[in-house]
A and B are shown apart, each in its own frame.
Chain A
């Protein structure tokens, strides 16, 4: 299985900050990498697909980058609604796997 390792596992930040979450795959996955946001008790919401493509309706303050094994999600100018858990997700080869999640908390 392809292992997805996210860092950090938790992150404290303030409204207006810029934050970056990193995701590393155990082998190359080209750009078969997605990012989701999940709030408590809710289903994950797609933010970024194909490593860097912004899902329709998602704020452009979310930016994804990377290819191969190293990827990142950057949120510029954090807003109150951005405090949530973020997951990366590879769909290069089944079994599809997710990172363990990054919890973004208010400082």
Chain B
């Protein structure tokens, strides 16, 4: 069974750093892009960026450049989302998701992690 299991909820103060994780199992970790998606309370989904674990090739949504970085630890089959300095506006649920791709070129996200709730408040 393919699974993406994320780290637990976090309560942090503005200015603090944070790393949240997405541990995978049940498939060839190195061979599939993993995306991170933000969902602010009561809002829609925003794609933050993705990483290819095989070579750590990374693409960030320009809207998130300078705010977050993405990394992997291949030995742990785990992807990470790093925040350098949290702001109140980073309060959100964060999801990781595996990207699958067809031979015809179209792709989709499945499965998703259960989500990590990050609350930033002084």
Q: Which A residues form the contact surface with B (CB < 8 A)?
A: 30-34, 36, 42-46, 49-51, 55, 87, 89, 91, 94-101
Contact A32 B61 (CB under 8 A): no
Contact A32 B47 (CB under 8 A): no
Contact B44 A30 (CB under 8 A): no
Contact B110 A87 (CB under 8 A): no
Which residue of A32, A95, A97, A98 contacts B106 across the interface (Cβ within 8 Å)? A32
| Given known A-B contacts A43-B95, A43-B115, A96-B35, A34 and B63 have beta carbons under 8 A apart | no
Is B114's CB within 8 Å of the partner chain A?
yes
* A-side contacts of B84, CB under 8 Å: none
Q: Which B residues form the contact surface with A (CB < 8 A)?
A: 35, 44-47, 50, 59, 61-63, 95, 97, 99-100, 102, 104-115
Contact A49 B108 (CB under 8 A): yes
A89 to B63, CA, bound (A): 17
* A-side contacts of B62, CB under 8 Å: 95
| Chain A binding surface SS class | loop
Contact A43 B47 (CB under 8 A): no
The 6 closest A-B pairs by CB, nearest first: A49-B108, A43-B112, A95-B61, A98-B45, A96-B47, A46-B110
Contact A95 B109 (CB under 8 A): no
Contact A87 B106 (CB under 8 A): no
* A-side contacts of B111, CB under 8 Å: 43, 46
Contact A91 B44 (CB under 8 A): no
* B-side contacts of A33, CB under 8 Å: 106
A58 to B95, CA, bound (A): 21
Contact A87 B107 (CB under 8 A): no
Beta-carbon nearest neighbor of B117 in chain A: A41
Shortest CB-to-CB span from B67 to chain A, Å, is: 14
Contact B107 A98 (CB under 8 A): no
Apart from A43-B95, A49-B106, 11 more pairs, CB < 8 Å? A42-B114, A46-B109, A46-B110, A46-B111, A50-B102, A87-B45, A91-B106, A94-B61, A95-B63, A98-B44, A98-B47
A–B pairs, 8, beta carbons within 8 Å = A30-B106, A43-B95, A43-B115, A44-B109, A49-B108, A91-B107, A94-B59, A101-B44
